Amino acid sequence: MSKIYMNRELSWLKFNERVLEEAENQEVPLCERLTFASIYQSNLDEFFMVRVGSLYDQTLLDKKICENKTGMTSQEQIDAILKQTKLINKRKEAVYEELMARVAEQGIRILRFNELDEDGARYLEGYFKSEIAPLISPTVIGRRQPFPFLKNKEIYAVAVLGAKGKKDRLGIIPCTSNIFGRLIAVPGMPGTYMLAEELILHFAPVVFKGYKIKSKSLLRITRNADIDADALYDEDLDYREFMAGLIKQRKKLAPIRLELSRDMDKKGIAVLCEYLELDENHVFMSSTPLDLSFVFQIQDLLRKNPELYFPKRTPQKSDQFQDGKSIIAQIKEEDKLLSYPYESIRPFLHLLTEAAEDPDVISIKMTLYRVAKQSKVVEALIEAAENGKEVVVLVELRARFDEENNIEWSRRLEDAGCQVIYGLDGYKVHSKLCLITRKNAGQVEYITQIGTGNYNEKTSRLYTDLSLMTSNVEIGLEASNVFQALSKGEVVEHTRHLLIAPKCLQNKVLDMLDEEIAHARNGEEAYAGFKLNSLTDKKIIDKLIEASESGVKIDMIIRGICCLIPGVEGKTENIRIISIVGRFLEHSRIYIFGSKERRKYYIASADFMTRNTVRRVEVAAPVYNDKLKTKLQEMFDVMLSDNQKARKLEADGNYHRVSNDLTPVNAQEYFYAEAYHEIP
């Protein structure tokens, strides 16, 4: 029988492969292809830090842990990841070479020292001696010079050093500096640059004068970043200070990957692995630069040529709002649904600033997971507190890699007089929920906003997300219950309208799928549709399989991880799954249940991942307005018809580009054309 489950980690690698395909895509403008190549690498860095780091931790346990869908052990998963990553990286190296050839056609060249002319070489030799050599701190490893601490994701030059009558030693030079730039221009050779680490590596013989350089390379290590805040927290500690200390601790965790830019001698690699306590399977050779972030500097150099970029698009004013009229009044008239990045986040920002100044507003309560470094959202909350409103903000300090930003904002919110909550024991608060409470003519009113993405003005221009604003009293009351529970360190146990994890989202999704199964078994039309980032929750997956077996038609748009294989005869043949990877990061979540005459719609912060459904506080909101239901259905249908950026997941577990003779549809471009009123 064909398999119906896919391993989570291997599915993620397939997603990142789809990102790399956009770097390979000749129809994508050159500078955007550079972006996709860099995203591929940064995605992979985080994957190794978090996911491979977690698997590595599991291998250290006495108890063997097996993944619950495919039965793979932690070590088997690591081995499969290493093997597959090395295969995909060969494609990354090929596409990088092709992209650099295209960049050279635009007059920009990144050279190594031996490719310079005589004047360029002379200049860079002088530059190294005057600007770099005084600032670097080389180390020769020996009895009195221990192996230095190598920082996560920073680049070092390493050399195997030989000396007469002595054992070979390792020399290491840090190559990352805030003082000298990474991309060094070569005077007299217009458009010619050299990477600082390549220049340092070239002059390793000068740095280690008196030694013979037997082999040399650039290296970069990736450290485990999977650290459990809840397991380590002591209640006697200030939580904010504890999280600040945890960030420092994370920087010192064990290495889980070593990347080299040159094929060093085997002994040198073995010595490095011994010092780093790494198996040689975790060593990756790369002919490309070890950090591709410099491509954004190349983009800046080519900024004057618009043909090398996607056509400029800016979020548009939503037709749902009228200028010069109260945002609150307009939401009271009719529910609103914004679609980012096609529509602007401004109406929501105006809602917050209006609430901060409205004398009828009693309180503003909000959950914050990731916010911009210069956040207008937080500024509005601070203004509200300074105006005497009750402002309650749950700031999730455990939002991975955003902890420092959230710690700083929490301080500012507290200083302004806001009540700040730092999450719950055992549960991350990932919901996107804002509740504005007013008292008007003696009546309590609620304006509730529920989103699929973070309250972040920057990402609202880059990620596709949805933002529902409603004056529905019952939704407002349930949102109020959420904040009351959070303030007491509790979770909501029962709801009628909102779906709220961890206690009443997964079970309600399963119940609604059971309803569709019952309709299908009665010979009636039954349907479910979902747009998600990831699908890993085995309970939901097994219910989807049962639904398919019962005759329920299921459409799924899943951008990233998908542990369910569709199209398997007798099992998942009624399930269709596509993934859209394009200009914008698909991030919105939509749940649809029922045939057309009884269809229910939700937007949500939660993917169908176990971490979202049972280990986080998440909110899914029903959409009751008929116009907004139609809008959601039309969006879903357009995405299902995408034949430009969509890939279909087939029964063999592989993704293939959707290819047909129908009118070309790029869903993201369609939605922007709609926002620009370019579609009749």
Amino acid letter, 347: P
- What confidence tens digit (pLDDT) does each residue in 436-466 have? 999 988 899 999 999 999 999 999 999 999 9
pLDDT at 232: 43
Residue 35 lies in a domain: yes
- The tokens for 191 are 């458009």
pLDDT at 633: 98
pLDDT at 320 over 90: yes
Tell whether the torsion through CA atoms of 184, 186, 189 and 194 is positive or negative. Answer: negative
The span from the CA of 31 to the CA of 589, in Å, is: 29
Output the domain CATH number for residue 186. Answer: 3.30.1840.10
pLDDT at 2: 63
267 and 290 within one domain? no
User: Which one of 312, 328, 357 terminates a domain?
Assistant: 312
Nearest by Cα to 575 from 535, 622, 521, 634: 535
396 and 369 within one domain? yes
pLDDT at 479: 98
pLDDT at 35: 98
182-186, 246-250, 358-362, 449-453: which range is least confident on average? 246-250
384 and 265 within one domain? no
Amino acid letter, 493: E
160-164, 506-510, 524-528, 629-633: which range is least confident on average? 160-164
Amino acid letter, 580: I
Q: Are 446 and 436 in contact (CB under 8 A)?
A: yes
- What confidence tens digit (pLDDT) does each residue in 135-158 have? 999 999 987 788 999 999 999 999
pLDDT at 1: 41
pLDDT at 249: 59
The span from the CA of 357 to the CA of 435, in Å, is: 15
Alpha-carbon torsion angle 115, 121, 125, 126, nearest 10:
-150
Furthest CA-CA distance within the chain? 93
- What confidence tens digit (pLDDT) does each residue in 257-315 have? 999 998 888 899 999 999 999 999 999 999 999 999 999 999 999 999 999 999 999 99
Residue 110 lies in a domain: no
- What confidence tens digit (pLDDT) does each residue in 332-354 have? 999 999 999 999 999 999 999 99
pLDDT at 245: 60
User: Which one of 443, 464, 487 terminates a domain?
Assistant: 487
The half-sphere exposure of 394 on its side-chain side, counting CA atoms within 13 A, is: 28
Nearest by Cα to 588 from 463, 416, 404: 463
* DSSP 3-state of 291: coil
Which is more confidently placed, 445 or 244?
Answer: 445
* Count of positions (residues) in the chain: 680
Alpha-carbon torsion angle 499, 500, 504, 507, nearest 10:
60
pLDDT at 56 over 60: yes
**Active-site positions?**
430
The span from the CA of 39 to the CA of 285, in Å, is: 19
Residue-range definition of the domain harbouring residue 431: 336-487
The span from the CA of 340 to the CA of 324, in Å, is: 22
Residue 59 lies in a domain: yes
Residue 395 lies in a domain: yes
Q: What's the total number of domains in the chain?
A: 4
Nearest by Cα to 508 from 422, 593, 432: 593
pLDDT at 233: 42
The span from the CA of 139 to the CA of 156, in Å, is: 11
Burial track 35-63 (b if 16+ CB lie within 10 A, e otherwise): bbbbbbbebbbebbbbbbbbbbbbeeeee
668 and 531 within one domain? yes
pLDDT band at 629 (very low <50, low <70, confident <90, very high): very high
User: Which one of 464, 487, 510 terminates a domain?
Assistant: 487
Which is more confidently placed, 97 or 408?
Answer: 97
pLDDT at 246 over 80: no
Output the domain CATH number for residue 86. Answer: 1.20.58.310
The span from the CA of 669 to the CA of 281, in Å, is: 42
- What confidence tens digit (pLDDT) does each residue in 549-571 have? 999 999 999 999 999 999 999 99
pLDDT at 117: 93
pLDDT at 191 over 60: yes
63-67, 545-549, 603-607: which range is least confident on average? 63-67
The span from the CA of 533 to the CA of 97, in Å, is: 31
Helix/strand/coil percent split, the chain, to 5: 40, 25, 35
Nearest by Cα to 516 from 550, 545, 565: 550
Q: Are 322 and 348 in contact (CB under 8 A)?
A: no
The span from the CA of 541 to the CA of 559, in Å, is: 16
pLDDT at 100: 98
- What confidence tens digit (pLDDT) does each residue in 641-677 have? 999 999 999 999 999 999 888 899 999 999 999 999 9
The 8 Å CB, 24+ separation contacts for 664-667 are: 665/638, 665/641, 666/582, 666/642, 667/580, 667/582, 667/638, 667/639, 667/641, 667/642
511 and 398 within one domain? no
348 and 296 within one domain? no
Name the average pLDDT for the chain.
93
pLDDT at 680 over 80: no
Q: Are 470 and 445 in contact (CB under 8 A)?
A: no
285 and 271 within one domain? no
The three-point CA angle 497-500-505 to 5° equals 90
The span from the CA of 394 to the CA of 374, in Å, is: 18
The span from the CA of 453 to the CA of 368, in Å, is: 10
483 and 390 within one domain? yes
Beta bridge partners of 193: 110, 185
Residue 588, classified by CB atoms within 10 Å of its CB into exposed (0-12), middle (13-18) or buried (19+), is buried
pLDDT at 235: 46
Taking residues 506-533, what's their average pLDDT? 98
pLDDT at 238 over 60: no
**Residue owning tokens 């010069």:** 324
> Which residues, including other chains, have CB under 8 Å from residue 136's CB and lie 6 or more apart?
173, 174, 175, 177, 200, 207
648 and 628 within one domain? yes
pLDDT at 65: 81
pLDDT at 236: 45
Residue 52 lies in a domain: yes
- What confidence tens digit (pLDDT) does each residue in 589-598 have? 999 999 989 9
Output the domain CATH number for residue 601. Answer: 3.30.870.10
Distance of CA 136 to the CA centre of its chain: 34
Residue 324 lies in a domain: no
Residue 325 lies in a domain: no
Q: In the structure, how many helices (H) and strands (E) does the chain have?
A: 21, 27
pLDDT at 198 over 90: yes
101 and 127 within one domain? no
Residue 503, classified by CB atoms within 10 Å of its CB into exposed (0-12), middle (13-18) or buried (19+), is middle
135 and 49 within one domain? no
Nearest by Cα to 640 from 585, 594, 596, 575: 575
Which is more confidently placed, 529 or 163?
Answer: 529
518 and 481 within one domain? no
Phi-psi domain of 677 (left: phi exceeds 0; alpha: psi -120 through 50; beta: other)? left
Which residues are known binding-site members for Mg(2+)? 370, 400
Residue 680 lies in a domain: no
Nearest by Cα to 170 from 270, 256, 289, 284: 270
Taking residues 514-520, what's their average pLDDT? 98
